[in-house]
Structure 1
Amino acid sequence: MSADSRDETLATALGGIRQSRRAFLQTVAAVGGSLVVGFQLGGPTQAAAARAGKGAKPWSANAFIRIAPDGAVTLVVPYVEMGQGAYTSQAQLLAEELDVGLDQVKVEPAPPDETLYSHPVFGGQVTGGSASLPGSWATLRQAGADTRALLVAAAAKRWNAQPSELRTEHGQVIHTGNNQRLGYGELVAAAATLPAPAQKAPLKPLSEYKLVGHSVKRVDTPAKVNGTAKFGIDALPQGVRYAAVRATPVFDGKVAGVDQAPALAVRGVRQVVVLDDLVAVVADHTWAARKGLAALDIRWNEGANANVDTAALVAQCDAALEREGVVAVKVGDVAAARPAKRYEATFRQPMLAHATMEPINCTAHVTKDRCEVWVGCQVLGRAQKRASEASGLPLDKVIVHNHLLGGGFGRRLEADYVHQAVRIAKHVDAPVKVIWSREEDIQQDYFRYHNHSRVWVGTDREGMPVSFHHRVVGPAIMATFLPIFFKDGVDFDAVNGAAGPYDFANARVDFVRQEPPTGLHVGNWRGVGHTRNVFVVESVIDDLAQRAGIDPVEYRRRLLGKSPRSLAVMELAAQKAGWGRKLERGQGLGMSVQDGFGSFLATVAQVRVAPDGKYKVERVVCAIDCGVAVNPDIVKAQLMSGVVYGLSAVQYGRITVARGRIVESNFDTYPVLRMRDTPPVEVHIVPSTADPGGVGEPGTSGIFPAVTNAIFHATGKRVFDLPIDTELLKGGRHEA
């Protein structure tokens, strides 16, 4: 039985899984002769869902352990691997409690099924929000322990022994008295017939863990090194053709006309597909398709957005700052506070693109009764739905093969490229691989939109806050992407982290919704709400400290009494960075502190600024308390990755608009950080026994204010608008 048909059989057999655990195990025992255990992977946001007024869904399994008669262990999870190490950490959790080697566990992404594999909080097959590991921590270990207990019980029955006389090791049950051994595969049939234990099996103490908490080798590395790993761009179904595409460059524009002859004259070009908003050239190979597309003179109906530019978008957001927002956070009474001094600052952050290493791509084949898609996507169920919409076929006629992702960063939380590929494939009598050029990738992105903030702070005579008011202006992405996080006019992601981890007696955060023009698509960007708000809050705290004449670390220390984990990471980062030491002329250290995704992070940047305004980030030090670090190497890699991604944005990132078009088109106009400019990044992990938090996103947001605060301490110039403008840094004090 193939993996696809086996999963279809499993889904049918389980029927939504509203059964007792005993009935569930009996039901799936016959599937392929394997023992199959289903369980629910949750998320770290159950409390957030409750605050949003939405209860979690009724219990249903969305992950499965299969143990075959030959002893092979397969973990089917609803999460995808996009470089973040999800497969490895999930395998570690299971292998630890199941008592098998990491080399004995194979991880498979679940096939598309929004019902069977739905996230209990997000409500779909979503990999994002740094939620995979926190959502698996408790249930995946427990599923491993319970499955191990069933196998032990099966062996005890066969040997007429007590379970207490048996132990497990590397996929075997061993009788401690006579050293008899049975492999797990030999026990699966018997285990599936046993009654479920009345109580959960006990978990190992953390002190006995051999895999969890250790830097084991990643399970996806060998295939990526030897070239056998399959990304979406590697899909090669038989008879595949290649398409180069150009969608309307003007937001919400349409195709007005095109002469197809120049493209058809190019050797290897098979056809030109003209749709209402795009033109695609289909050929025998990519070069012919691109050459044919370049030969075309496409005429566009530019529509109502032809005169939109960045200045107009910024002006709209500035105007929104003058409006009262919907209250998202309220502590005490800001209006009733009687400060001795008042502080006000306005921040502007630009649009940003994702610029993933693997450009957007999707391969599709559409026939009259079937649609098949090969892609790398963070939202597999949505990809299937978009393919169904585009093909006009029901969901059960749409097959999606999900592959590894060459970078997600939130871009592949959308499925627009799947919809587009299927629309094109409907006009091609063969599978067609649509690969976007880098220009198309950047200009047709789902951008992080303009975000503006204004902060008012009232301070006492010593300069400490007595009131904190933050107004956030931006789009409500969650209103359409994950409505559970949008309520009463507040986008919970947009205001996430908008008051920081600090103990303010009186605080208010309000949200003013400002959407982009129709056709200018916006979406999630790595770090989501924190990338907007941590920069603002930490810049303000640093500015207040300077105005009060208090060391920035000491100032934060006085505000973190109710967040001991935040305080601890700040102290560690400061120590490791040598905070307080005498610096050279033009050097500065900048601190930022944040909590989010269940983790606590402090970031220190060391920056050197020259009198001409040019600067260099010389060193970055991070200290994180992410609870149990399941794989410390992955934690470090993710923080380093986040720092590099954030540095690209804070130094260069800006998407601009002219005549309704995105101006930037490739890495020459939308630069990313090069290896030669990447500073050393140190990561220090605070030992913890708390449940794991997310690590994929915090590093990105933490570096923004760490760099700009360091620039201030080197030059006396405060950065309020991003990316950093070196012209504004000229003529600073540049003192030692």
Structure 2
Amino acid sequence: MTIHDIKTSRRGFLAGTGLIIGVAIAPKFLSAAQTGVPAGGSGELRPLNAFVKIGTDDTVTVLSKHIEFGQGPFTGLATLVAEELDADWSQMRAVHSPTDNKIYANLAFGLQGTGGSSSIANAYEQMRKAGATARAMLVAAAAEEWKVPVAEITVEKGRVKHASSGKESGFGALADSAARQTPPADVKLKDPKDFVLIGTELPKLDTQGKINGTAIFTLDITPDNLLVAVVAHPKHFGATVKTFDDSEARKVMGVVDVKQIPQGVAVYADNTFAALKGREALKVEWDLAKAETRSSQELAAEYIRHFDEPGLEAANTGNVDEAFRKEGLQTVEAEIVFPFLAHAPMEPLDAVFIKAADGSVDIYNGAQFPGFDQQVAAKILGLDEKKVRVNTQLAGGSFGRKAQFGSPYMQEAATTYAAIGGDRPLKHMWTREDDIQGGFYRPMYAHKMRGAIDAEGHITAWEQIIVGQSIMAKADLDQTSVEGASNLPYQIPNLKVTSHNIVLPIPPLWWRSVGHTHTGFAVETFVDELLARVGRDPVEGRLALLDKGSRHAGVLRKASEMADWGSTPPDGRARGVAVVESFGSFVGQVAEVSVGSDGAPRVHKVWCAVDCGVAVNPNIIKAQMEGGIGYGLGAVLFDAVTLGQGGRIVQSNFHDYRSIRINEMPDVAVEIIRSAEKPTGVGEPGVPPIGPAVANAWRKLTGTPVRQLPIVSVISS
């Protein structure tokens, strides 16, 4: 078996500068898709910089520093390159880049990673420069070969031309000589008015492979002599192994070994079925001395007790207490409790480890932070980081699940591999039950709201107390707990927002749209209640509280126009509205809701307006809004991870932690606001407004505000 060496390019590029040198030798057992060779290309690849390779068959391969798990970076980053390269879209391919925290750093994070809806935002100029640099090198090669001035050469739809001589070439014929050119120190980027590909609905590059089954995920990687390992975990957070009996597990045909590791008890087998059956046969006694044994109800009661205690100040303008004492105001108070939420991506966590002849190790996994995974694995395996190669694979979703500082999943996977010696390739797997019961949830939160509004609809005072775990594990103020609340877009002269950090053995993690998952709901439902108290229309009332020229106001107006706000909904239906900014993008949504036959909300239609700056690919933006609406709607209607009596986790799979079903998905209309602002993210911002828009419609229908999520569990109880 040959070594899968770090796939770096001979000439490199990062933000316009830098050279790197390297080679790529792939394990023979892997297919082309697994080794980073793009599907649909047959020619040899010539690296023009760290992000662009030209094939001798005219294909252009873009190395994506961001993982592709359905949100579109392969297509988006390739579009940026193709625009400045003047390539034809049919030439474009994309693969994951090698792992390198310097060359392939997320410019928003300072290390290689995907998250915070930052893929296009941080790479917008960087990838355009990569394309423009590659174009300049192709032009220089053509000028040298044809002995004509560079200024006389044009590039259009993947063809390099010299009009007066009639000479013309594809990229492939120039690839070798172009790769030998010195990259220009600086390149001029196109004026946006000259864009040909940016702003058009180009088909996604990864779709075809996912349709025809050629797309490779970690689960598809099955080298010879593969071991499969699963780990038995406790059903209480903070519990540890006290004793275990593996005698019955070892009797299962195919089970090879059983090892205790810090995270639980690992079962190794020749196949997945045997590994799972062996784990079922284990008898483990868990030590609950440091475990969380309170129920979700007990935790909620503990959270609410903090409402009466001084908190960490997130915002404090004017004088809230004095403002509430003024006469002639209508006041509203509310307490809202948000549950723990699992991410529940379609593909649970998995990783494959393969040792090379020289002792180095290749790891294949859907790595959202590959640099962290590499560092953690190298430390556990006792290897230099250069001898641990993390090969990022396509992944079936994440929603924040794989974006973990310290890479706790990789800690477990690498420990499991090391514990058995690493002589055989190993696939470490989590089942859906492992994932939903494995923690790293969107934390539980509780909000206490108090607001005052005058007869004209001016909100004169607003106090908000937020209680929950700090995702960043901070003792002081965690901005991810208060984002969307401490920076309200509404003009409120007296505003006070405080936060309390709760410490639990339940590990917290960002969940798709992070703090906005709960602050967006709390703020937008509370604004609606305040406006209703004085008879103000929800759209007009919000617009009066917003800057007229703000982007918030822009998407709110557009969504309300799309929904024909003010017209009478069909019988038995009501419409609710919400507007939320997150990750620099602005989204307004209107939801049309009825009471379903089961007494629960039935969402029929959602109108969505989004302002995310320059729309690199409108098709992907619309898809992400639709996906965010479906994901957020499933959570607000159905989802909660609860701790039962004694702290045992209740939910385990999609039967009791369910996603929205196809027949429950509303009709969604999306409009994108034209903008010249730099592009911002779209992976997360579609999620926050859908919950409050539905809840606001539900309050109109039933007269009852939503004070606890998910809505359906409250109704059924």
TM-score by length of 2: 0.89
Tell me the equivalent position of 1:508. Answer: 496
Measured after TM superposition, the shift of residue 403 of structure 1 is 0.6
Counterpart secondary structure, 2:687:
helix
Residue among 168, 174, 180 paired with 2:167: 180
Tell me the equivalent position of 2:217. Answer: 231
Tell me the equivalent position of 1:566. Answer: 552
Once residues 667 and 310 of structure 2 are traced to their aligned partners in structure 1, the CA distance between those partners, rounded to angstroms, is 43
Tell me the equivalent position of 2:134. Answer: 147
Once the two structures are superposed, the pairs formed by residues 24-423 of structure 1 within 5 Å of their partners are 24=18, 36=47, 64-67=51-54, 71-187=58-174, 200-206=187-193, 208-305=194-291, 307-334=293-320, 337=323, 339-340=326-327, 341=329, 342-365=331-354, 369-414=359-404, 415-423=407-415
Once residues 671 and 107 of structure 2 are traced to their aligned partners in structure 1, the CA distance between those partners, rounded to angstroms, is 33
Measured after TM superposition, the shift of residue 175 of structure 1 is 0.8
* Deviation string, structure 1 residues 594-649 (Cα, Å, up to 9, x no partner): 11222211111111126974331111111112222221111111111111111111
* Deviation string, structure 1 residues 512-540 (Cα, Å, up to 9, x no partner): 22232x2x211010111111111011001
Query: 2:492 is aligned with what amino acid?
Result: F
Once residues 332 and 728 of structure 1 are traced to their aligned partners in structure 2, the CA distance between those partners, rounded to angstroms, is 39
* Deviation string, structure 1 residues 230-265 (Cα, Å, up to 9, x no partner): 112212122112223211222222222222221121
* Deviation string, structure 1 residues 167-218 (Cα, Å, up to 9, x no partner): 1023332112122123434545655676765763241443x43321111111
Once structures 1 and 2 are overlaid, which stretch shifts more, 573-582 or 76-85? 573-582
Query: 1:632 is aligned with what amino acid?
Result: P
Tell me the equivalent position of 2:611. Answer: 625
Once residues 549 and 323 of structure 2 are traced to their aligned partners in structure 1, the CA distance between those partners, rounded to angstroms, is 23
* C-alpha contact (below 8 Å) 1:29/1:192 kept by paired residues: no
Counterpart secondary structure, 1:616:
strand
Tell me the equivalent position of 2:602. Answer: 616
- Does residue 424 (structure 1) correspond to residue 440 (structure 2)? The answer is no
* C-alpha contact (below 8 Å) 1:317/1:450 kept by paired residues: no
CA distance change for structure 1 residues 223 and 726 in 2, over 3 Å: closer, same or farther? closer
Counterpart secondary structure, 1:493:
helix
Counterpart secondary structure, 1:657:
coil
- Does residue 454 (structure 1) correspond to residue 448 (structure 2)? The answer is yes
Once residues 538 and 646 of structure 1 are traced to their aligned partners in structure 2, the CA distance between those partners, rounded to angstroms, is 15
Query: 1:511 is aligned with what amino acid?
Result: S
Counterpart secondary structure, 1:5:
coil
Once residues 421 and 357 of structure 1 are traced to their aligned partners in structure 2, the CA distance between those partners, rounded to angstroms, is 19
Once residues 363 and 147 of structure 2 are traced to their aligned partners in structure 1, the CA distance between those partners, rounded to angstroms, is 52
Counterpart secondary structure, 2:241:
strand
Tell me the equivalent position of 2:658. Answer: 671
* Deviation string, structure 1 residues 28-70 (Cα, Å, up to 9, x no partner): 69999987555xxxxxxxxxxxxxxxxxxxxxxxx52233566
Residue segments in structure 1 that go unaligned for 5+ positions in a row: 39-62, 480-485, 731-736
Once structures 1 and 2 are overlaid, which stretch shifts more, 502-511 or 329-338? 329-338
Measured after TM superposition, the shift of residue 420 of structure 1 is 1.3
Query: 1:83 is aligned with what amino acid?
Result: G
Residue among 464, 467, 491 paired with 2:461: 467
- Does residue 536 (structure 1) correspond to residue 533 (structure 2)? The answer is no
Tell me the equivalent position of 1:57. Answer: none
Measured after TM superposition, the shift of residue 570 of structure 1 is 1.3
Measured after TM superposition, the shift of residue 128 of structure 1 is 0.8
Identity across aligned pairs (percent)? 36
* C-alpha contact (below 8 Å) 1:327/1:510 kept by paired residues: yes
Query: 1:296 is aligned with what amino acid?
Result: L
Measured after TM superposition, the shift of residue 578 of structure 1 is 2.7
Once residues 604 and 593 of structure 1 are traced to their aligned partners in structure 2, the CA distance between those partners, rounded to angstroms, is 9
Residue among 562, 576, 594 paired with 1:590: 576
Once residues 688 and 9 of structure 1 are traced to their aligned partners in structure 2, the CA distance between those partners, rounded to angstroms, is 35
Tell me the equivalent position of 2:628. Answer: 642
Once residues 173 and 470 of structure 1 are traced to their aligned partners in structure 2, the CA distance between those partners, rounded to angstroms, is 61
Measured after TM superposition, the shift of residue 458 of structure 1 is 3.1
Counterpart secondary structure, 1:412:
coil
Counterpart secondary structure, 1:304:
coil
Tell me the equivalent position of 1:718. Answer: 705
* Deviation string, structure 1 residues 538-571 (Cα, Å, up to 9, x no partner): 0011001100101111101101225532222212
* C-alpha contact (below 8 Å) 2:161/2:167 kept by paired residues: yes
* C-alpha contact (below 8 Å) 1:248/1:300 kept by paired residues: yes
CA distance change for structure 1 residues 726 and 312 in 2, over 3 Å: closer, same or farther? closer
Once residues 418 and 312 of structure 1 are traced to their aligned partners in structure 2, the CA distance between those partners, rounded to angstroms, is 33
Query: 1:671 is aligned with what amino acid?
Result: R
Once residues 276 and 141 of structure 1 are traced to their aligned partners in structure 2, the CA distance between those partners, rounded to angstroms, is 46
Tell me the equivalent position of 2:433. Answer: 439
Counterpart secondary structure, 2:282:
coil
* Deviation string, structure 1 residues 338-379 (Cα, Å, up to 9, x no partner): 644243322210101111111222222469943332211211
Measured after TM superposition, the shift of residue 727 of structure 1 is 5.7
* C-alpha contact (below 8 Å) 2:616/2:679 kept by paired residues: yes
Query: 2:222 is aligned with what amino acid?
Result: L
Counterpart secondary structure, 2:515:
helix
Residue segments in structure 2 that go unaligned for 5+ positions in a row: 26-43
Once residues 379 and 648 of structure 2 are traced to their aligned partners in structure 1, the CA distance between those partners, rounded to angstroms, is 27
Once residues 697 and 17 of structure 1 are traced to their aligned partners in structure 2, the CA distance between those partners, rounded to angstroms, is 27
* C-alpha contact (below 8 Å) 1:253/1:301 kept by paired residues: yes
* C-alpha contact (below 8 Å) 1:614/1:726 kept by paired residues: no
* C-alpha contact (below 8 Å) 1:362/1:417 kept by paired residues: no
Measured after TM superposition, the shift of residue 149 of structure 1 is 3.0
Counterpart secondary structure, 2:5:
helix
* Deviation string, structure 1 residues 652-691 (Cα, Å, up to 9, x no partner): 1111113232111112221221112222122122222322
* C-alpha contact (below 8 Å) 1:717/1:728 kept by paired residues: no
Tell me the equivalent position of 2:40. Answer: none
Tell me the equivalent position of 2:36. Answer: none
Once the two structures are superposed, the pairs formed by residues 575-586 of structure 1 within 5 Å of their partners are 575-586=561-572
Query: 1:214 is aligned with what amino acid?
Result: T
Once residues 726 and 653 of structure 1 are traced to their aligned partners in structure 2, the CA distance between those partners, rounded to angstroms, is 9
CA distance change for structure 1 residues 30 and 129 in 2, over 3 Å: closer, same or farther? closer
Once residues 651 and 184 of structure 1 are traced to their aligned partners in structure 2, the CA distance between those partners, rounded to angstroms, is 52
Counterpart secondary structure, 1:535:
helix
* C-alpha contact (below 8 Å) 2:202/2:617 kept by paired residues: yes
Once residues 291 and 153 of structure 1 are traced to their aligned partners in structure 2, the CA distance between those partners, rounded to angstroms, is 62
Once structures 1 and 2 are overlaid, which stretch shifts more, 145-154 or 241-250? 145-154
Tell me the equivalent position of 1:493. Answer: 480
Once structures 1 and 2 are overlaid, which stretch shifts more, 433-442 or 698-707? 433-442
TM-score by length of 1: 0.87
Residue among 472, 481, 496 paired with 1:478: 472
CA distance change for structure 1 residues 545 and 423 in 2, over 3 Å: closer, same or farther? same
* C-alpha contact (below 8 Å) 1:717/1:729 kept by paired residues: no
Query: 1:133 is aligned with what amino acid?
Result: I
CA distance change for structure 1 residues 729 and 360 in 2, over 3 Å: closer, same or farther? closer
Once structures 1 and 2 are overlaid, which stretch shifts more, 213-222 or 362-371? 362-371
Counterpart secondary structure, 2:489:
coil
Counterpart secondary structure, 1:294:
helix
Tell me the equivalent position of 1:7. Answer: 7
* C-alpha contact (below 8 Å) 2:513/2:582 kept by paired residues: no
